[in-house]
Structure 1
């Protein structure tokens, strides 16, 4: 609970994955990948309840064995590549006694470097009536002014309509959504047509904690990082 507001965390975990089979439960240093996010949510000072939304019986059984509630398996239409996360949130909240929760924190299991204090710091940014939605971001190392897109004719085009002679020190700072933490009012999720990526206020994370597990290369990088963490008792 934070500022007398009850907070629920929902971890969406599909069973299917094209890049890494059974990605959400793949073993990383003796633990399934999803367990790193479950642990972070449980250790948050402000989260009151943790739920997992999944279409996989195997993931559900693994979570229940760890004391995490799985209300029911997610419908097939919410477990496709085209399904929107916002619809999964709505479905899960409606299964629960959502009226008793004020805010929902979405934690994707493919961002395992996020720690409990990141979640708590993001929640602390909530100011009822002023800042109702939070999204985690990291500063980009390469500024978009130096990036180009390739058109159908093989020609490079600038992404930003900016003077090409602008000095690097005069460039504004850009951030990317990293997918680690989303916070919204439960009532906004249920009653409005919103996109989580449109959350207005940032929680800025150091890029050292930004790793989205999508490929075997990402997974191997996380294994290396986690092995070092455990070696140094971090």
Structure 2
């Protein structure tokens, strides 16, 4: 199986400015994702898609390809990353004349992953009959027990009221948090559809200590602490 990894890293993060090249554990955040992808033997190329010249230079210095600069219209705060995925695949189609068997997205925001987490996603994908493999971890909250929504009259209620009262979170239906550890997708599906759950999706479970998604400075500080514990 030929798998090509993409790392999508735009330059305009507002939650944590400069996030993708901010130093974590002695190297830029994006370097963790590049190293994880390069460590997976089934991945034949690691390509960074970015609108930032600075990110592109850092990515090349750590072993990734940056064969194009992502168009500005695909790198805004409100730009769906799915369109950046499609742009990257269309680049491969134009340059190579063929799509890979699998597209692997390795987000920069999950530096605590291990290469084996990506390997596990590829294993699940290779079982067949699937359009996308996502990663999940144990949920911090449950819509049946301790997640609420606010009604029009200002009162609060459970997101999904159970048929009978649930006294303990453990008794509620099991749910999971999606993570940004890794995604594996069938390229033709990404080009033809607009969202993951328009197709057949399977999942790989990742321990919570490897599933941190860095979006804020607090997340970044937590990642620093967890890396130090390693």
**TM score, norm. by length of structure 1:** 0.89
Give, in whole Å, the separation in 1 of the partners of 2:188 and 2:219. 35
8 Å CA contact 1:104–1:185 kept in 2: the answer is: yes
1:136 CA displacement:
0.4
Residues 198-207 or 8-17, more deviating: 198-207
Secondary structure, in 3 states, of the residue corresponding to 1:180? coil
1:142 CA displacement:
2.8
What RMSD over aligned residues (CA atoms) do the two structures have, in Å?
1.7
Match in the other structure for 1:180: 181
- 1:196 has 2:192 as partner: no
1:98 CA displacement:
6.1
Match of 1:42 among 38, 41, 47: 38
Give, in whole Å, the separation in 2 of the partners of 1:197 and 1:82. 20
8 Å CA contact 1:135–1:197 kept in 2: the answer is: no
Match of 1:8 among 1, 4, 8: 4
Unaligned runs of 5+ in 2: none
Match of 2:16 among 20, 25, 32: 20
Match in the other structure for 2:154: 154
Please list, as runs of the form range in 1=range in 2, the aligned pairs for 1:155-170 lying within 5 A after superposition: 155-166=155-166, 168=168, 169-170=170-171
8 Å CA contact 2:140–2:177 kept in 1: the answer is: no
1:53 CA displacement:
0.2
Unaligned runs of 5+ in 1: 230-234
8 Å CA contact 1:138–1:205 kept in 2: the answer is: yes
Q: CA 1:171/1:98 → structure 2, altered by over 3 Å: closer, same or farther?
A: farther
- Per-residue CA distance 1:59-82 (angstroms, 9 max, x = gap): 001111222111111101001011
Secondary structure, in 3 states, of the residue corresponding to 1:86? helix
**TM score, norm. by length of structure 2:** 0.91
Give, in whole Å, the separation in 2 of the partners of 1:135 and 1:218. 21
Match in the other structure for 2:104: 105
1:129 CA displacement:
4.3
8 Å CA contact 2:150–2:156 kept in 1: the answer is: yes
Q: CA 1:28/1:47 → structure 2, altered by over 3 Å: closer, same or farther?
A: same
Please identify runs of 4+ aligned residues in structure 1 that moved more than 6 A.
Answer: none
Q: CA 1:193/1:131 → structure 2, altered by over 3 Å: closer, same or farther?
A: closer
- 1:123 has 2:118 as partner: no
8 Å CA contact 2:112–2:210 kept in 1: the answer is: yes
8 Å CA contact 2:144–2:173 kept in 1: the answer is: no
- Per-residue CA distance 1:107-141 (angstroms, 9 max, x = gap): 11011111100000111012464234200011213
Match in the other structure for 1:74: 70
